[in-house]
Structure 1
Amino acid sequence: MNKFVFLVLYVSALLFQPANAQVISSDGINPIVTFKDTPQEQVYVHYNSSLLFTGEYLYYKIYCLTGAKLQFSSLSTVAYVELVSEDKTVVFRHKIKLTSGKGQGDFFIPTSVASGNYKLIGYTQWMRNSKRNKFFQSDIAIINPYQGDQKKITRAYESPEKQLGFLTENNQVSQSDISSNEGSNVIRLFVDQKQYGKRKKVSLKINHKSTNFSNSYTSLSVRKIDTINVPVRTTANVFTASIDKMSNHKVDLTANRVFFPELRGWLFSGKIVTENPKLSMENKKVILSVPGKSYDLKMATTNDDGSFFMNIDKPYVESEAFIQVLGDNDKFSINIDQHVPMDYKGLKFENNFYITSDMKQMILDRSVYNQINNGYFNAKPDTINLPRPIVPFYGEHLQAYNLDDYTRFPTVKETVVEIVENVRTKKIGEEKFIFLIKKEKPVFEGSNFLPLVIVDGLMIQDHTDVVTYNANNVEKISYSRIPYFISSQIFQGVLDIKTNTSNFYEKYTKSYLKKIKLFTPEPKKNYFIQSYDGDREKQFSHVPDFRQQLLWLPDLKLDKEETNINFYTSDNTGSYEICLEGFNEQGKPISVKKVFRVE
């Protein structure tokens, strides 16, 4: 019995499409019919501060909920977070991978971001099917002391009763009272002291009073309380209350543009075009290569107007990719669909945060602290959770030849002839060659198919470029004799070549090969936690520590009656707030706060 390996690529038409079009997925299902009764999603974003300076980080955790009980959504696997200025300019747009309805990210405030009032926005594609703005939004103020123009956060004159000034210590604490909600009635925060010295350990206990909250998913922020009036952050409790008022609002799939949920990763789409009106654009194969050491390859088939769709369900380290049309490549060009921007015409900025002249010293001190902290970032860096290496679509069982184990030959052609079994080259013109891989068993009598040739993850159509390539630059040649089906395309085996530098694609150019930038999800990070325990006290004794943010734990699961967390204070004195936000498995909000002092 012939051995076949079928690669099933989910080619989805579930992106944004005109609602009056008959959008049918690859398995013959009309998605409008499929999703018409699917409940709407809601997004809540817990973020560390509503006032940020240049040189500080905005940390955030996103919770995606659905249904009347606001349980964690299993529908969307991708969410989006944006920061929008008063003139409706998007400062950043992040794509966030959701795992069981949860994801995280951060944004470093650069000097290019001006002082002003901003909105933090969170949404999924599915949430965009609404006649009302159902996306999450909350106010954030930014102070950039390095730009001379501060008009957006200053006022020519305000009456004394309306002026924003410094908060007293009691005012600061009142802004951080423990929230009175279902979550805080059963979850409480305890610290071992009310006041700490500099660089001292704080022991935090999170206690549960109810088994209903024994499986709770939260994020924890410990940050210095601002000494001026700042925009109010939206708590999980306030968010839930606002959602309850709109619980009867349903998904609208009758609009001119419908956004379908990103079920299995994020959706990548585009369209091939041609200047020759006689050429058919239907049933053309479009290949996406994401090259590098851990690479991937996707293929889609165009519909009658040349449109194609791919589902990207794997985490990529590389953000650059290459796309090409298989076959008559020089006759087509490729246009990639960009992320459809949100409509912010109705977005209202009512926060009206501004600064006064008596805040000058506070702004100066905080800016200096930020410069010092950033100057020592390498001493206490965050780390990125690199995704697991992607297993090639054809598996890992290939016949491999490490060329250092053999006599070296000048070209790949000579190397294949002398070393690699079952692979040969064939001349098809005066200067053209193709690779051929011997079949294990005949697949279709009288039919011959070319192998899939890959170099450092890049699919190569012109085999001549590889046949004549300098073999001294090649580390390994691997092949498989098994026929492969990608979409509806058949390849007689795979020839996978790895160069010494794994970057063959950087200098490889073809007129039909288009280099593109992928809008990939943000990497998941482990955030640095400062410690002065044991030898670390001496190790960091000469490193300045003026942290405003003492701790950020975006992925804190509460699955026992008591959770203990230790962290250390900094040399930055003042009142600090411990803020715990999140939801339990039943969709009940958690919003608990605790204040302590550092002197």
Structure 2
Amino acid sequence: MMRKTTILILAFLGCIPGINGQQSNRDVMEMPIDHEEVFVHYNTGFLIPGETLYYKFYCRNSRTKQLSTLSKVGYLELVDAEKNIIFKHKIALNDGHGQGDFFVPTSIASGNYKLIAYTRRMIVGPKEIFFEGNLSIVNPFQNEQQDLFSSSFSALKNTEANNLPTPSEQKSTHVAGRLEIQLENRLFEKRSNVNLVINHNSRNLTSTGVFSLSVRKIEDLEVVPRYTAQNYPSVINKRSIAFPVQLPELRGQLISGRILTNSMNEGDTGLNNKIVALSIPGDAFFLRLVKTNAMGRFTLNLENNDFVPRTFLQVLGEDRGKYTIVIDPDPSINYTSLEFEPLHLPVSFKDRIMEHSIYRQIENSYLEVKQDSLLWNGKSYPFYGVLPEVYHLDEFTRFKSLNEVFIEIVKMVRIRRMGGNPRLEIVGSFNEPTGANLIPLVMVDGVLLQDHSEIIDYDARKIKTIQVLREKYFMGPQVYRGIISFETIGGDFFDVMKKEFISDTEMVRPQQNKIYFSPSYQNLDYLQNRVPDFRLQLLWNPNFSLTNRATNVEFYTSDVPGEYEISIEGFTEDGTAVSLKEIIRVH
């Protein structure tokens, strides 16, 4: 009961803007809520530019070891030896797991890197807890490689990661007698079908769970073995200085910030109870309004992850010019304690790396016919759904001015000028005495517009549709006299609108879920076509699940001979770690 109560308290606190006061920090940190830990299964520990790092993010309850249902967003970063962050990804977590990928650019330097993964929940309190993985990158396109290859190469220093078994030593065909990989044979020709079976021998359902499946060529270029779901540690950094609180992201992506006043006049209205509007354009555009606290702070959640990065924030009201909006940075970790070994490779590796690079360049030249697919979640709509009145202006006589459009096409909407400041009004269906004092919510290409004169002065021939709602609309702390939503033909009104009092920024959005390309040579025409196949990654399935006692998996080999590792990592419903490995050979 205590655990459920504390989760509800945190969820409630996450809804309160400006919870970041000192007393609130201490209260949040002392709540007896279960901690989390993270494991990341990634496809390889060695990459060159042009290749893709694929990964699966697992978030577990540290006490029960089951996948966590608390955090809805995870973070994964690639850090170099100088402690620079090469990329930072947000991962949408669904029942404790998510996925992502990173295309290695040609600008990246050769060296050893660290993959760091965590949730906000893991860095709340006096300690930072995170997953740390090793990754080596060699860039053959850079000239300064003299320190990379050495004829007097010696093994790296003994570290916990280096003492892990090699892929062939990690071979495992069962977990507690419940799961096993079964292959009819282990020798295959090029472009041939591989059919493996994962047997589920348990009489109960505890072997079902969430898993990721990788099939990749084994290369001794991977100088630092990777952790598995069964042997990964959690790195702990103790904090010695004050730190900002990080609220757990229990409902979705958390965005927080504050407003600052631009004036020191005594007549300023202050920072309390100001309304901040966040607009995200796109087909399914989004709007959220939130009030600030006495310190000018605000916090809001984005439950949906399918948004574009571009974001607009503004303070509502006639005095909006007095304020500046500052967004809090995403959570970060102190990397001063990270230790990196220099990357040294024997001279004999040069030819293999060059061959590796040639394979990748050929594959990339055929990306148009080997594309991944984005998972589609169905048709999406703006935050208000579908408004009852929709006017497609191409179906009517075109007029240059918006005033003519309202007179001839869109009835009961007018332009009213008060003191030289024109504004839009909706007429009718408002009988309440207070209705006359309200203004409509005006959206243009998904962005809230306070200065109505900008759309009034806009060339109406560039407007595609107008949607109208003639009833009161409640949006957070604000009440509007209906909605008027404009969509321009170019869909880029926010590029020409005045943004004097609007913060136009790009925010990191969670990775999109994908189905990764895997060819099928079952069709004879495809088998005999001229498209080369130099894949080293034969299969990557980040959402592999066991559906019955025997689950079949099919994939096809490529034109590259050698040994390939089949790797399944993940966790059963009861929290048992699974790490299955098998080796096949292509000749």
Q: TM-score, normalised by structure 2?
A: 0.90
In structure 1, what is the equivalent of residue 201 of structure 2? Answer: 209
| CA deviations over 1:480-507 (Å, ceiling 9, x no partner) | 1111222221211101111222222222
CA distance in 2: counterparts of 1:256 and 1:359, whole angstroms = 45
Q: Tell me the CA shift for residue 419 of structure 1.
A: 1.8
Out of 259, 281, 299, the position equivalent to 1:309 is 299
**Aligned residue number for residue 59 of structure 2:** 64
- What does residue 28 of structure 2 align with? 32
CA-based RMSD: 2.8
Q: CA deviation at 1:534?
A: 1.3
Q: Specify the alignment match of 1:361 in structure 2.
A: 351
Deviations 1:168-222 (A, max 9, x none): xxx976344217753xx32111223211111111111111111344422100000
Find out whether 1:51 has 2:46 as its counterpart: yes
Listed as ranges, the matches of 1:125-140 within 5 Å are: 125-140=120-135
Instruction: Say if 1:231 and 1:353, in contact at 8 Å, map to a contact too.
Output: no
Distance 1:179 1:353, change over 3 A: farther
Do residues 341 (structure 1) and 332 (structure 2) align? yes
Aligned equivalent of 2:118, options 110, 115, 123: 123
Match of 1:86 among 75, 81, 86: 81
Looking at structure 2, the residues matched to 551 and 395 of structure 1 have their Cα atoms a distance apart, in angstroms, of: 39
1:397-440 CA-partner distances (Å, limit 9, x unpaired): 4212222222222211111122212211111134x311111242
Aligned counterparts of 1:81 and 1:162: Cα–Cα separation in 2: 26
Q: Which residues in structure 2 correspond to 1:198-237 (within 5 Å)?
A: 198-210=190-202, 211-228=204-221, 230-237=223-230
Question: Equivalent residue for 1:464?
Answer: 453
Structure 1 residue corresponding to 2:509, chosen from 520, 523, 529:
520
Q: Distance in 2 between matches of 1:536 and 1:307?
A: 62
Q: Measure how far apart 1:386 and its partner are.
A: 4.0
2-side partners of 1:393 and 1:196: how far apart? 52
Could you say which residue in structure 2 is the equivalent of 1:12? 15
Superposed CA deviations along residues 12-67 of structure 1, whole A, max 9, x for unmatched, are 3589936x3336xxxxxx9628x711110011100101111121111000111114
Match status 1:101 vs 2:96: yes
What residue in structure 1 maps to residue 4 of structure 2? none
Q: Secondary structure at the match of 2:74?
A: strand
How far apart, in 2, do the equivalents of 1:489 and 1:317 lie? Answer: 23
- Structure 1 gaps of 5+ residues are 1-8, 24-29, 165-170
Give me the whole-angstrom Cα distance separating, in 2, the residues matched to 1:10 and 1:546.
52
Q: CA deviation at 1:336?
A: 1.8
Secondary structure at the residue paired with 2:195? strand
Q: Supply the distance in 1 between the matched residues of 2:435 and 2:132 (Cα, whole angstroms).
A: 63
Q: Is the 8 A contact 1:16 1:259 kept in 2?
A: no
Amino acid at match of 1:97: A
Structure 1 pair 560/318, CA: closer, same or farther in 2 (3 Å)?
same
Residue of structure 2 equivalent to 1:402: 392
Q: C-alpha displacement at 1:120, in angstroms?
A: 0.9
Name the residue aligned to 2:473.
484
Map of 2:7 onto structure 1: none
Q: Note if contact 1:219-1:580 (Cα within 8 Å) is conserved in structure 2.
A: yes
Contact 2:283/2:382, CA 8 A, preserved across alignment: no
Distance (Å, rounded) in 2 between the aligned partners of 1:413 and 1:94: 46
Query: In the superposition, relative to structure 1, how do residues 11 and 36 fare at CA in structure 2: closer, same or farther (>3 Å)?
Result: closer
Aligned to 2:186: 194
Using the TM superposition, give the Cα deviation of residue 442 of structure 1 relative to its aligned residue in structure 2, in angstroms: 2.3
Note the alpha carbon deviations across 1:219-256, whole angstroms, 9 max, x for none: 000000013452111111112xx46xx9xx9999x964
Question: Structure 1 residues 387, 152: CA separation in 2 closer, same or farther (over 3 Å shift)?
Answer: farther
- Structure 2 equivalent of residue 584 of structure 1: 572
Instruction: Give, in angstroms, the shift of residue 329 of structure 1.
Output: 1.8
Give the stretch that moved more between structures: 571-580 or 141-150. 141-150
Q: What is the alpha-carbon distance in structure 2 between the residues aligned to residue 481 and residue 47 of structure 1?
A: 52
In structure 2, what is the equivalent of residue 258 of structure 1? 245
Q: Distance in 1 between matches of 2:261 and 2:167?
A: 65
Partner amino acid, structure 2, of 1:257: P
1:142 corresponds to: 137
Contact residue 313 and residue 503 of structure 2 kept, 8 A: yes
Q: Equivalents in 2 of 1:50, 1:322: separation in Å? A: 39
> Do the aligned partners of 1:550 and 1:569 also contact (CA within 8 Å) in 2?
yes
- Structure 1 partner of 2:161: none
The secondary structure found in structure 1 opposite 2:482 is: strand
- Which of 161, 168, 171 aligns to 1:177? It is 171
2:526 equivalent among 525, 537, 542: 537
Partners of 1:577 and 1:414 in 2: CA distance? 69
**Structure 1 residue runs of 4+, over 6 Å off?**
161-164, 249-252
SS in 2 for 1:271: strand
Q: Go from structure 1 to structure 2 and tell me whether the alpha carbon gap of 1:429 and 1:441 turns closer, same or farther (over 3 Å shift).
A: closer
The residue type equivalent to 2:567 in the other structure is C
Task: From the superposition, tell whether residues 156 and 339 of structure 1 become closer, same or farther in structure 2 (CA, over 3 Å).
Answer: farther
User: Are the aligned partners of 2:129 and 2:237 in contact in 1 as well (CA < 8 Å)?
Assistant: no
Q: Give distance in 2, aligned partners of 1:14 and 1:487.
A: 12
Deviations 1:284-319 (A, max 9, x none): 111111112221111111111222222111123421
SS in 2 for 1:368: helix
8 A Cα contact 1:179 1:593, kept in partner:
yes
- 1:106-161 deviations in Å (ceiling 9; x for gaps): 111111111111111110000012544420111111111111223664458456x8
In 1: Cα distance, 2:168 partner to 2:315 partner:
62
CA distance in 1, matches of 2:135, 2:471: 56
Q: 1:51 to 1:500 in 2, by over 3 A?
A: same
Give the number of aligned pairs: 565
1:163 is displaced (CA, Å) by 11
Aligned to 1:449: 438
Taking the aligned partners of 2:481 and 2:96, their CA distance within structure 1 comes to 41
Residue number in structure 2 paired with 1:27:
none
Q: Which residue of 1 aligns with 2:6?
A: none
Query: Is the aligned partner of 1:299 residue 2:299?
Result: no
Change (3 A) 1:289 1:446: closer
Q: Give the direction of change, closer, same or farther, for the CA distance of 1:131–1:324 in structure 2 (3 Å limit).
A: closer
Distance 1:15 1:491, change over 3 A: closer
Separation of aligned partners in 2, 1:15 and 1:512: 22
Is 1:419 paired with 2:409?
yes
Paired residue secondary structure (1:22): helix
Alignment-derived partner of residue 382 in structure 1: 372
CA distance in 2, matches of 1:173, 1:325: 56
Q: TM-score, with normalisation over the residues of structure 1?
A: 0.88
Return the alpha-carbon distance in structure 2 between the equivalents of residues 119 and 487 of structure 1: 42
With over 3 angstroms needed to count, the CA separation of the structure-2 counterparts of 1:446 and 1:91, relative to structure 1, is closer
Offset from partner CA, 1:524-583 (integer Å, 9 cap, x none): 111001111114534x62111111100000001113111111111111110000000000
2:337 matched to 1:329? no
Identical-residue share of aligned pairs (%): 37
**Take 2:218 and 2:143, find their aligned partners in 1: how far apart are those partners?**
26
C-alpha distance in structure 2 between counterparts of 1:362 and 1:325, whole Å: 58
2:127/2:237 contact within 8 Å kept:
no
Indicate how the Cα distance of structure 1 residues 302 and 51 shifts in structure 2: closer, same or farther if over 3 A, else same.
Answer: same
> Gaps (5+ residues) in structure 2?
1-11, 159-164
- Whether contact under 8 Å (1:317, 1:387) holds in the other structure is no
Q: Distance in 2 between matches of 1:512 and 1:190?
A: 63
CA distance in 2, matches of 1:594, 1:318: 40
